[in-house]
Amino acid sequence: DRRADALLVVEWGEPHVSALGGDAIHLALELHADQRQARVWSEGRSSRWPAVRARLLAAGRPVSDPS
């Protein structure tokens, strides 16, 4: 099934994670005085998070993990 590899991106998703299946990769964009920061974290069965994190780090982008 092609949908097994699909990614749904929604701005309002965080409050509705369980209604959308409980599997989420969160992206929070923040603007600080002199820099922009993106925080990325996952929940549910999201098995791709390690690969996503590795790609971001390989591209030289800072990645924070709220855990």
Beta-bridge mates of residue 64: 39
Inside any domain, residue 19:
yes
User: 11 lies in which domain range?
Assistant: 2-58
Domain count, the chain: 1
Is pLDDT at 25 greater than 80 in this prediction?
no
Got the DSSP string for 1-67? -GGGG-----TT-GGGTTTTTS-EEEEEEEE-SS-EEEEEEEESS-TTHHHHHHHHHHTT---B---
Inside any domain, residue 63:
no
pLDDT band at residue 3, thresholds of 50, 70 and 90? Answer: low
Inside any domain, residue 67:
no
Q: What size, in residues, is the chain?
A: 67
pLDDT number for residue 30: 86
Q: Is there a contact between 35 and 46 (Cβ–Cβ < 8 Å)? A: no
